[in-house]
Every structure is written in structure tokens, then in C-alpha cells.
Chain A
Amino acid sequence: MDVLNRPKFQNALKALALLVMAVFLYTRLASGVLFFYINQRFIAYTIFAIVGLVVVALSYRPTARRDEAGGALHSHHRLGWVGLAIVMAPVALGLLVPPQPLGAAAMQNREISVASQARSALPAAVRAAAQKDAVDRNLLDWLHAFSASPNPAQEFAGQPVDVIGFIYHDERLGENEVLVNRFVVSCCVADASVVSMIVRWPDAASLPDDAWVQVKGVLQPGEFNGRALPIVVAQEVIPTALPNQPYLYR
């Protein structure tokens, strides 16, 4: 009889696979890498998953009672090598490929919402953004504020800006201009969309894609793709480390 088909071996294999997955999730959580993948408010779910996986794994432990029940605990499902390989794929990929949050490479495939393009948003989020002081607004807050205004390019001119984001060079931009971006996530990175502001900075060309920067500057009326919108004229562009939470949450 194939070793793989022995009930004891099957139980041990299943328990081990579940535990490996639980440990994998726990290390993502403990190292903060979890925020590269999901919205922070879903942390509780991940903790639940870890507990659930461990509880289910422990149920496969051999017990005396199992034998007493005369084989009452039987399972119809056999885990083969292919099944095992597929189930372990997330762990393998997670360990082999160094974790990175979505960045410039992912932007080529997405709609870029640069300010002022009319995007509907939660009314509550727009109100909250409007109540914040200009320097406290993040990229998403600014986008909300712009979307509530009929003519943001003029209305916001002169306001101070202090935002953090990563660099992306878009070919439609003018000279000395660069996009500073954050991904916005409501559930997991599958639903990520990107919010961006155009930053004018003499050394813009020297900033590499994916570099994280803090931009301090002032809003001025500008243009992108033939559309009037506010752009940031930077006074300072400070390289920063990857934030603990790389995404903004809707």
C-alpha cells in the first residue's frame, strides 16, 4: 500500500499542511507584511483564520477515543501530491518572492485617477476630507476634496500640500513633472485603485519609479491630458522609507 494512502499518514499530512498555512499567515501578521495584501480592518478575520486552521489541524491528532469509536471518524477525502502542491502554492510563492506592496509596475494596468476627474465617492468621506486641514490631507483626501468642487484648479490654488507617496513617471506628463501615488484598497489588493497628484519639481527626472517620497508644496492650476486640474508645485521632496501601511483605505 502506498504510504500516501495510509490513514495515519494522511491525517499527519493534513494537520501539517494546515499548521504550515497557519504559521505562514501568522508570520505575515507579525512582520507587518499583511498590510501589503489586505485592508487593515480585516486583521481580525486573519486572526480568526489562524485560530481556525490550528483548531482544525489539531482535530487530526491521534486519540484513543478514535479507536474506541470503531473507525467512526473516517474521512472520504484523500489528499494527493497534486492537491498538496496546490494548497502549499501560496506559502511557497509567499516565501520565494520577496513581499512587495503594489507599486509602479501595477500602475500600467490601472486607471489612474489624477485629481479633478469626476469620481463619485462616499459623501461621508468627502465631508471628512473637507474638514481636515490642508496639510493633514493625504492623497485620497485631496482627491475627495477635488471631486466635490466644480472647479478645483482655481478653488484650491495656493493651498499648502504635505503628502506621502511613491513615484511614477507617466509619459503624458510635462517636463519636470512626476506623479506621486498611493494605492487605495477597500478589501484586498485585488480591488486596489490608485490616487495620484502631479508634482512639479526641477529634479523630477532624477526620482526613480517606486521611490517613496514626502512632498511639501503649494497647489497651482495646471493641466493633464488637456484637462485643467490642481498640481503641486513642490518646495521640498524628501525621500522616505516605505510606510508601515503602504495603502490608503477607503
Chain B
Amino acid sequence: MIVERPKAASPVETPSLARASERRVRLMRWGLTLVVIAAAFAAIFFDALRGGGAVYLYQRVQTFVTIFLGIFIEAVPFLIAGSIVSGLIAVFVDQAAIDRYLPKAALPAALVGGGMGMVFPVCECGVVPVVRRLYEKGLPLSIGVAFLLAAPVVNPIVILSTYSAFGWGPVFVGRIVFSFLIAAIVGFLFGRARPEEVLRPAVCQLHHDASHPVHSHKHDHSHHLPNAPLGLRFQQAFNLAGDDFFDMARYLILGSMLAAGMQTLVPQSTLLAIGQGPVISVLAMQALAFVLSVCSTVDAFLALAFAGTFTTGSVLAFLVFGPMVDIKSSLMFLGVFRRRIVVYLIALPMLLSLLMGVWWNLNVRW
């Protein structure tokens, strides 16, 4: 029997609505690109006015390109790896398995999601396509959000690199514990949300078909192809990987441009000179983490340079907040979540890690 769902809750939009939303998305992409380019030009010219002229301008452009390509070339291997894993999941992972083995209640789901990075060691570029694919397979929202935020820190590689930078101590323990907690809390908060409010329409529809197979009256969206020959299944997996790569690379590239632009134009010293107060120092380091967009596998070594001069709480905030959210990853979130949700995914970790950093500065003497 086909159950007619109420219109408001229906994830399947009518064709005209779908076209309108598609146009909105396309407009937004154009708008975003134009804003990035306009901002970069405005900033560069404003900067050139301060002195230098054409040579100076050219050097700035060159610095911008070098940093942009640096971030991009560093991130590409992780993005293509994440896309390939995502393609393989699409073809070889059975939806029923996700349904059967992963918890659906918000609290256990958030806890499982926070720890999943130990099993899938991915960084912030690789995790986004994987999470998106898992959502299409019907992964509960809480698990995905917690996994997305925690995996860049709570994974063996990053734990090792943090240990080799800071050794056993407050920063090492604090980073892992608080990353897990904050990710789990944010994940838990999404426990009651409906997928159609959270996910982008395209992701949501597949998510819905996967988690409500009984209601599904559309053709099977699964890429599972259990009866196809193995070679064809691999080809399909790599095809999907390529599509994922193109989808995500756009956000990665725009994000890297923004980060490189900020780095070229905003002097680090302005951020660092802002202050040493227990609150202000945390905010400054969060801003720095957001602007730098450094890969989580090495940011510990970078943070080391600030460990002597900055409060422990602020260094911790840099190491907890930076991997969860930075310019490039928050742009990549747009490929999975609705815009409003992306704002939450930036704001909630920011506030929670601010709280953590300030609390640490005021109360903890390790």
C-alpha cells in the first residue's frame, strides 16, 4: 500500500519546486564565487594603496597562488581517497547492514559517531564525501554529524602526531577528550531533527528511500548492483568516486582560495596581538584556526609555536575547533547539508570550544 505522506514532511519535492531550488543553488554558487573574487580583488587593491604599486601587487598575487596551490595540492590526495572510499561504500556496503548494526537513538548514535574515526582514519577533507555517502545509505543523522566533527581528531594518525608534538600532557589529553565530547554533543542535538530539514534535497531523498524502504515507491536508487560482475561494480564505484570528487573539489577549491586570500591579506600578528586575556586569547586562536585551514594531521606542530606565548585554553581551542570547522571544510559542508544547518555546524562547535577554552583557562592548573 502506498502511504500518502503529509506535504510538509515530504522529502520529494514537486518538479517545479525542485527546479526552483536547483536555480537557487546555482545562483548561490555563482554568488559565492563572485563574492570570493570581488572580496579578493577589493582587498588586494586596498592593500596596494598602502604602498608598493604594481610590483607589490604582483608579489601579493604570487604569494596568494602559492598558498592556494599549497592547500589544494595537500588536500587533493585526501579528497580523492575519501571519494574512492565513498564510491566503494555506495557499491559494496549493504544498506541493511547500516540499519542493523548502528544505533538509532540519539545518545548511543552520537557516542558511536564520535568514536568512528578510530576505525575510519580520515581527515577533514576525506570525511565529507564519506559522510554524505553514508547518509545516502540511511545513516542516522546523529552518527554522521558526530563522525564528521570528531573523525579529523579522534583517529590514530592525528592522536600520534599530537603526541609527538606535545607529549603526554594537558594539551594531548584535552584535545582528544574535548573533540570527542563536543562532536558527540552536537551530534546528540541533531538526534531529534528530521533529515529533510538537515540534508540537502538530493542527499535527503536517497536517505529517505534507504531508511524507509516500505514507503518507497520509486525505483531502487541503490548502486549496490549485487548481481553485476565484479569489474563492473568497481567501475561503478570509481564513477561515483569521480562524481563525488567533482562535487567536493569545487567547495575545496573555493575554500582554499578564501583561506589563501585571508592569509595573504590578514597579518597573523594582528590576530595574535589581540590579546592574552582568558576569553580574548581563545577567540583569537579560534579565528586563526578558521583562517589558516591547516590539515588536522599536522596542526599540532603549528600549535606548538604558540604554546609558549598563548594560554593553554586557547591552544586547546585551536586544536579542537580547527579540525572540526575551517574555511575549506565549512564550504564543503554545503555539499551535504542545508545552509542553515551549516551555520549551526560552525556556530555550535565554535561556542562549545570557546566555552571549553575559557573554562580551562580559568579553572585548570595542570
Contact of A188 among B229, B237, B295 (CB under 8 A): B295
Q: Are B81 and A52 in contact (CB under 8 A)?
A: yes
- Cα A66 to Cα B231 with chains together (Å): 11
Q: Are A72 and B239 in contact (CB under 8 A)?
A: no
Task: Name the residue among B66, B76, B164, B254 with the largest chain A CB count within 10 angstroms.
Answer: B66
A111 interface contact, C-beta 8 A: yes
Contacts A46-B77, A48-B81, A56-B83 known; A83 to B250 CB distance under 8 Å? yes
| Shortest CB distance A45–B (Å) | 4
Q: How many residues of A contact B (CB 8 A)?
A: 71
A38 interface contact, C-beta 8 A: yes
A94 interface contact, C-beta 8 A: yes
Q: Which residues of B contact A90 (CB under 8 A)?
A: 68-69, 72-73, 253
Q: Are A122 and B304 in contact (CB under 8 A)?
A: yes
- Cα A89 to Cα B309 with chains together (Å): 38
Contacts A46-B77, A190-B259 known; A73 to B236 CB distance under 8 Å? yes
B246 interface contact, C-beta 8 A: yes
Q: Are A120 and B305 in contact (CB under 8 A)?
A: yes
| Shortest CB distance B220–A (Å) | 11
Q: Are B76 and A106 in contact (CB under 8 A)?
A: no
Q: Are B238 and A56 in contact (CB under 8 A)?
A: yes
Q: Are A52 and B232 in contact (CB under 8 A)?
A: no
Q: Are B66 and A99 in contact (CB under 8 A)?
A: yes
Q: Which residues of B contact A9 (CB under 8 A)?
A: none
Q: Which residues of A contact B308 (CB under 8 A)?
A: 118-120
| Shortest CB distance B287–A (Å) | 15
| Shortest CB distance A145–B (Å) | 16
Q: Are B246 and A76 in contact (CB under 8 A)?
A: no
B216 interface contact, C-beta 8 A: no
| Shortest CB distance B326–A (Å) | 10
| Shortest CB distance A13–B (Å) | 10
In the complex formed, the residue of A with least CB distance to B234 is: A59
Task: Report which A residues bind B (CB closer than 8 A).
Answer: 14-15, 17-18, 21, 25, 28, 34, 36-38, 42, 45-46, 48-49, 52-53, 55-60, 63, 65-66, 69, 72-73, 75-77, 79, 82-83, 86-87, 89-90, 93-94, 97-106, 108-111, 113, 118-123, 186-191, 193, 250
Task: Report which B residues bind A (CB closer than 8 A).
Answer: 26, 29-30, 33, 56, 59-63, 65-74, 76-78, 80-81, 83-84, 164-165, 167, 202, 225, 228-229, 231-232, 234-247, 249-250, 253-254, 257, 259-260, 263-269, 272, 292-295, 297-299, 301-302, 304-305, 307-309
Closest 4 CB pairs of A and B: A59-B238, A189-B70, A105-B59, A77-B243
